Structure 1
Amino acid sequence: RIPEDSVKRLCRYLRNLRYLIKEGVETISSEALAQDIYVSAAQERKDLSYFGDFGTR
């Protein structure tokens, strides 16, 4: 089960990622993505981990 707070943040991630795609950004660090939506990088990685593995360093 995915925590409700994580689900609520999904639209913020999606909105930001759509903007980045429109700007031609092809890669982004978890730190930068987290900063853009005002969460910690650890929280962002935890939220997205519910949906599988995403990239590597």
Structure 2
Amino acid sequence: MPQHAPTMPLCRECDGFPVVAITTGTRHDDGTRVTLRVACRACQGTGHTARAMRLVRAGR
């Protein structure tokens, strides 16, 4: 069980895993695979989303 709750809500699109590595199927000369790093478009790779703004009624 986690000790602390996250202070910012996790991104709904990536569930907190904002960057993934995708293999292209080709290999480098040394035998390692060519990978692409792709970041989540919704959170721009942070894993968190901004909290929704709340409307506050001011005045009468």
Band of TM-score, shorter chain: under 0.3
Instruction: Choose between structure 1 and 2: higher strand proportion.
Output: 2
Tell me which structure has the larger Cα radius of gyration. Answer: 2
Larger helix fraction of residues = 1
TM-score, normalising length: structure 2 = 0.25
